[in-house]
Amino acid sequence: MFFREDNTYNEIREKSLLQWLDEMERHEDVAVRCGVKLCREYMQYLQEKNERQKQELALKDSYLKKIAAKNREMKK
């Protein structure tokens, strides 16, 4: 009984932010337009960092499961 994680809220939030950034790219102020590129780069960095942390967590989980299984075998 595994359920797929519901990311509907996060997807809507991300699309809304991207739409807002698209609108800000057409802004008359140069500082605002340049800030959009910085924001997009930072979002990409955070997404990549999140993926790395998920991979690290999965590796730690698999290691801890192996250790727990080994400990159970030793107690028998």
Q: What is the pLDDT of residues 8-39, one digit of tens each?
A: 998 999 999 999 999 999 988 888 888 999 99
Q: 2 lies in a domain?
A: no
Residue 57 in any domain: the answer is yes
Q: How many domains in the chain?
A: 1
Evaluate whether residue 54 is within a structural domain.
Answer: yes
User: Cβ distance 39 to 21 under 8 Å?
Assistant: yes
- Under DSSP, the state recorded for 16 is H
- Residue 11 inside a domain? The answer is no
Is residue 12, in this structure, part of any structural domain at all? no
User: Using alpha carbons only, how large is the chain's radius of gyration in Å?
Assistant: 21
Contact 36/25 with Cβ under 8 angstroms? yes
- Say if pTM beats, i.e. exceeds, 0.75: no
What is the rounded CA–CA span in Å between residue 23 and residue 20? 5
Q: Is residue 51 part of a domain?
A: yes
What range defines the domain where residue 67 resides? Answer: 17-75
